[in-house]
Chains A and B, each alone.
Chain A
Amino acid sequence: MSELDLEDPTEHILLVEDNPGDIRLTQEAFEASQIDNTLHVVTDGVEALDFLHQRGEYTDAPRPGIVLLDLNLPRKDGEETLDSIKTSSPDLSRIPVIILTSSRAESDVVRSYDLQANAYLTKPIDAEEFVRTVERFRDFWLEDVELPPNEEGRS
């Protein structure tokens, strides 16, 4: 069960990504940026929602302070998942969801923001560049930004 931790809402970060290569890259980038927050990984939209709702095999899952969501997912794609998160109960919908995807398509960007994504990041091809992006992500979202406190309990 998650513990009430009022000091660091971002202790847990959820990564929704199906590509193992990308998963590994993200992990490497986090390490390189010295982010020691716990990175949880699910590989499709259904699992992501289960995790967030703390149901199914994820009844013991901690509530993440930030969600990194890829758009290109099997079973339930990113947009649907995003929409689902943002239209559920307040304690879920207020979790910042950052789209992290390889697509630069303008339509995807627009659609994501329409569905209330909090930010949209394009995965750079350059690994070093990706690390720098993650560093900036850390600086902004994990250090500067004030995030809503994490409440315990079911949604």
Chain B
Amino acid sequence: MDSRPGEAVPTFWNGSEPRSEARRFRSLVDAVDAVVYHLDAEGYVLAANTALSDATGYSKEELRGDHISRLVADETVERIICTSEDGSEPSASGEVVDIAFTTADGETVPFEMQATPFVIDGQFHGTVGIGWQRPARCDGASTTDPKPPTDDLLKVVFEEIDSGAFILDDELRIAWADETVCRYFGLDRDDLLGRDKPTALIETVADAVEDDAEFTERLLELYEDNASSARFECHVTARQNRQERWLEHSSRPIDSGQFAGGRLELYTETTEQKRSNDALEETEERFQSLVDAVDEYALFRLDTDGRVISWNRGAEKIKGYEAADILDEHISIFYTEDDRAAGVPDENLARALAEGSFETEGWRLREDGTLFWANVTITAVFDGEGNHDGFLKVTRDMTDRHRREVELESELQQMLGRISDAFIGVDRALRFTHVNERAEVLLDHTEEELLGETLWNVFSGTELEDVRKAFQRAMNDQTPTSIEFYHETLAIWIEATLYPSETGVSVYFRDVTEQRTYERKLEESNERLEQFAYAASHDLQEPLRMVSSYLMLIESRYADALDEDGKEFIEYAVNGADRMRDMIDGLLDYSRVETRGDPFEPVELNDVLGAVCDDLCIKIDEQEAEITVEDLPRVLGDAEQLRQLLQNLLENAIDYSHDDPPRVSVTAERKDDRWVIAVRDEGIGIESDDIDRAFEVFENLHGPDVSGSGIGLALCRRIVERHDGDIWIDSTAGEGTTVSFTLEAAGDPDE
């Protein structure tokens, strides 16, 4: 670099000022990082500091005297030379401009320079330039570099808000990218500035987004159309230099100001909302599967009419219906017939709607028709606007608890009863330890008299042997025992319950003389009745025999002497006698059911029915009767009486048929520990009004033409009653009759 010959410019730098101050200042200028130089009014370098020298690779001496244009491109020269003292030229107005110095090696180094007019005592002395090196760009520098926002406030705003922002210039280069957007996308700001956005988008920015292809496409479209975008979501994936985020993109063209023609792109974080939305969805899903997983409670929704619109595992378990079968059914399907007839289902729904929520307990029907005791809560559900939206129903199967409650209640009743009982306590040696008031009365002794005495000293008598044994047994087995006995001395019947313990026995007892006498009287009465019935029928037989036998003799011996009328008269008489005989036979059987009955034992009904059919085989053949029999079970009973029972019913079934050959069926059905046997015929049936009378003795419902002693059903009922069963008739006049009765199952392990 040559200096201009002859020109000795008095400069600040040459040291015309007091040395020490100048030297100090010179050192200061040299010390700063910034490049500092002084240009004259034409732009020749008057002085330069070490930094400039270092940056450009020229020595200070070389730099001095050279025109600044040697270092920078021609176009930029204007910008860094002040040409007037007030800096009014726009080209060098004190703004920071981007330039590039060409170094001694021919390389370019980017700088930000600020040119200010140098004025001393009102005199313009050229330009002072101060600047800093700009970090290098990776791609080729463009000649006109985009400018960052100059408004500091805007800058602050952008830096402070959560949105990431890109400002693109009119050539879609990234004029500016704020700290936030760089953080969001995990990008280096320096890499971005000045780059062509579309390219940057494809090469780096889009990588951060999960659906990068879609993201890229959308943005490129926007750039092409230069349109305002609707907001759309991008999912930024997590990497080493960035977190997973959800961002909302919005962008629009910039119409005015520094960046007119460019675009503003904003990315607002929505991760929290997204997460809470997702969380809400997940919560709902988890809630649904929780509801479903609950299998101890039936939890389901109803629509406003009360139809089932959801179902859970608990509902399936408790009520027995599968979801597909129950959806859209009305809840009244769960209620018993009685409840339905009384309108209970709709009533419950109405109450739930009126009160918000309604709890009740009652019997409900399962799918298989069985009943269970349910605890039910119905809650009315409303939508966001307060409109009725349906119901929520929660049902619990409380059958066990209900049964226990019922048991407890009866136990309670028993206990209460016991309070009015007499009570004594004895120790292991059977000495009185406690005597309550009632006991004092019954035993006719005061407590003082009894305490300490043994039971047997006070009450002796051989008839108490059973009682003594009962006490022994109770104490040995340590189980409660009940006994009933007659106490001679006190002249009362006593029913006592012994509760043994480690220390003795507690005895609750009461005077049951009245009951016993009543029962005894009843038994005696029954016996006398039976005896009477027996005697009556027995004694009636003899005269009957006379009538019957002699009529027959007349019939056989004097047939010829009799005209038609005569024969008819005799026939009526014989018929009458026959019927009387049947009645008497029936009465005898009836009266002997209790007294002549055998003790119960297991009976194979199949065998019994076989014997009956054998006995009736003539009748069966004559009438061409068809008897259909199911496999019959083993029951507990008196075989002979069961034979009478079945014979009667079968005979009835055959006799009371239409003119068609009788069709009879015998079936058996299990109900808990009983069997229900049914004898069904398709005969003339019984009028519903008459069914009640059918079981009465001698009630003949079909008139004298149809045979029958009139005692069959009465006898059947007596036999079934002796077997502790029930008997009933279902019949439709003209269609047939079914007589059903129950017997105790014989406790076969296979059944």
Residues of A in contact with B (beta carbons under 8 Å apart): 19, 21-22, 25, 28, 102-103, 105, 123, 125-128, 130
Whether B542 pairs with A102 at a CB distance below 8 angstroms is: yes
- Residues of chain B within 8 A (CB-CB) of A123 are 545
Whether B542 pairs with A130 at a CB distance below 8 angstroms is: no
Q: How far is the CA of A9 from the CA of B134 in the complex (A)?
A: 163
Of A21, A22, A102, A128, the contact of B552 (CB 8 Å cutoff) = A128
- Residues of chain B within 8 A (CB-CB) of A28 are 553
Q: How far is the CA of A28 from the CA of B544 in the complex (A)?
A: 18
Q: How far is the CA of A25 from the CA of B549 in the complex (A)?
A: 8
Q: Does B478 contact A (CB under 8 A)?
A: no
Interface residues of B in 554-603 (CB under 8 A from A): 556, 577, 581
Not counting A21-B546, A102-B545, A125-B577, a sample of 11 additional A-B residue pairs whose C-beta atoms are within 8 angstroms of each other reads A22-B546, A28-B553, A102-B541, A105-B538, A125-B541, A126-B548, A126-B549, A126-B552, A127-B552, A127-B553, A128-B552
State the Cβ distance, A102 to closest chain B Cβ, in Å: 5
Q: How far is the CA of A126 from the CA of B578 in the complex (A)?
A: 9
Interface residues of B in 608-644 (CB under 8 A from A): none
Q: How far is the CA of A80 from the CA of B538 in the complex (A)?
A: 21
Provide a sorted-by-A list of 20 A–B residue pairs whose CB atoms are within 8 angstroms. Answer: A19-B546, A21-B546, A21-B549, A22-B545, A22-B546, A25-B550, A25-B553, A28-B553, A102-B545, A103-B538, A105-B538, A123-B545, A125-B544, A125-B548, A125-B549, A125-B577, A125-B581, A127-B548, A127-B552, A128-B556
Q: Which 7 A-B pairs have the closest CB atoms?
A: A127-B549, A127-B552, A125-B545, A21-B546, A125-B548, A125-B581, A102-B542
The closest CB in chain A to the CB of B551 belongs to A127
Q: How far is the CA of A123 from the CA of B544 in the complex (A)?
A: 12
State the Cβ distance, B351 to closest chain A Cβ, in Å: 69
- Residues of chain A within 8 A (CB-CB) of B581 are 125
Of A102, A103, A127, A128, the contact of B550 (CB 8 Å cutoff) = A127
Whether B549 pairs with A130 at a CB distance below 8 angstroms is: yes
Q: How far is the CA of A133 from the CA of B355 in the complex (A)?
A: 87
Q: How far is the CA of A28 from the CA of B550 in the complex (A)?
A: 10
Question: In the complex, how many residues of chain B place their beta carbon closer than 8 angstroms to a beta carbon of chain A?
Answer: 14
Residues of B in contact with A (beta carbons under 8 Å apart): 538, 541-542, 544-546, 548-550, 552-553, 556, 577, 581
Q: Which of A21, A22, A125 has the most CB of B within 10 A?
A: A125
State the Cβ distance, B623 to closest chain A Cβ, in Å: 23
The closest CB in chain A to the CB of B548 belongs to A125
Q: How far is the CA of A29 from the CA of B4 in the complex (A)?
A: 186
- Residues of chain A within 8 A (CB-CB) of B548 are 125-127
- Residues of chain A within 8 A (CB-CB) of B553 are 25, 28, 127
Whether A21 pairs with B550 at a CB distance below 8 angstroms is: yes
- Residues of chain B within 8 A (CB-CB) of A128 are 552, 556
The closest CB in chain B to the CB of A123 belongs to B545
State the Cβ distance, B190 to closest chain A Cβ, in Å: 127
- Residues of chain B within 8 A (CB-CB) of A126 are 548-549, 552
Q: How far is the CA of A130 from the CA of B553 in the complex (A)?
A: 11
- Residues of chain A within 8 A (CB-CB) of B549 are 21, 25, 125-127, 130
Q: How far is the CA of A103 from the CA of B552 in the complex (A)?
A: 21
The closest CB in chain A to the CB of B577 belongs to A125
The closest CB in chain B to the CB of A127 belongs to B549
State the Cβ distance, A30 to closest chain B Cβ, in Å: 13
- Residues of chain B within 8 A (CB-CB) of A102 are 541-542, 545
State the Cβ distance, B592 to closest chain A Cβ, in Å: 10
State the Cβ distance, B532 to closest chain A Cβ, in Å: 15
Q: How far is the CA of A28 from the CA of B541 in the complex (A)?
A: 20
State the Cβ distance, B288 to closest chain A Cβ, in Å: 78
Q: How far is the CA of A127 from the CA of B549 in the complex (A)?
A: 4
Q: How far is the CA of A46 from the CA of B267 in the complex (A)?
A: 139
Q: How far is the CA of A103 from the CA of B535 in the complex (A)?
A: 11
State the Cβ distance, B584 to closest chain A Cβ, in Å: 9
- Residues of chain B within 8 A (CB-CB) of A25 are 549-550, 553
- Residues of chain A within 8 A (CB-CB) of B538 are 103, 105
Q: How far is the CA of A19 from the CA of B538 in the complex (A)?
A: 16
Q: How far is the CA of A130 from the CA of B546 in the complex (A)?
A: 12
Q: How far is the CA of A21 from the CA of B550 in the complex (A)?
A: 9
- Residues of chain A within 8 A (CB-CB) of B544 are 125
Q: How far is the CA of A127 from the CA of B581 in the complex (A)?
A: 13
Q: How far is the CA of A128 from the CA of B556 in the complex (A)?
A: 9
State the Cβ distance, B557 to closest chain A Cβ, in Å: 9
Q: Which of B544, B556, B581 has the most CB of A within 10 A?
A: B556
- Residues of chain B within 8 A (CB-CB) of A103 are 538
Q: Which of B542, B544, B550 has the most CB of A within 10 A?
A: B542
- Residues of chain B within 8 A (CB-CB) of A105 are 538
The closest CB in chain A to the CB of B588 belongs to A104
Q: How far is the CA of A123 from the CA of B542 in the complex (A)?
A: 10
State the Cβ distance, B553 to closest chain A Cβ, in Å: 6
The closest CB in chain A to the CB of B584 belongs to A125
Q: How far is the CA of A130 from the CA of B545 in the complex (A)?
A: 11
Q: How far is the CA of A25 from the CA of B577 in the complex (A)?
A: 17
The closest CB in chain B to the CB of A19 belongs to B542
Q: How far is the CA of A133 from the CA of B323 in the complex (A)?
A: 76
State the Cβ distance, A19 to closest chain B Cβ, in Å: 7
Q: How far is the CA of A21 from the CA of B549 in the complex (A)?
A: 9
The closest CB in chain B to the CB of A130 belongs to B549
Q: How far is the CA of A28 from the CA of B546 in the complex (A)?
A: 13
State the Cβ distance, A99 to closest chain B Cβ, in Å: 16
State the Cβ distance, A56 to closest chain B Cβ, in Å: 29
Q: How far is the CA of A119 from the CA of B550 in the complex (A)?
A: 26
Q: How far is the CA of A102 from the CA of B548 in the complex (A)?
A: 14
State the Cβ distance, A3 to closest chain B Cβ, in Å: 34
- Residues of chain B within 8 A (CB-CB) of A19 are 542, 546
State the Cβ distance, B665 to closest chain A Cβ, in Å: 34
The closest CB in chain A to the CB of B546 belongs to A21
Q: How far is the CA of A21 from the CA of B547 in the complex (A)?
A: 10
- Residues of chain A within 8 A (CB-CB) of B546 are 19, 21-22
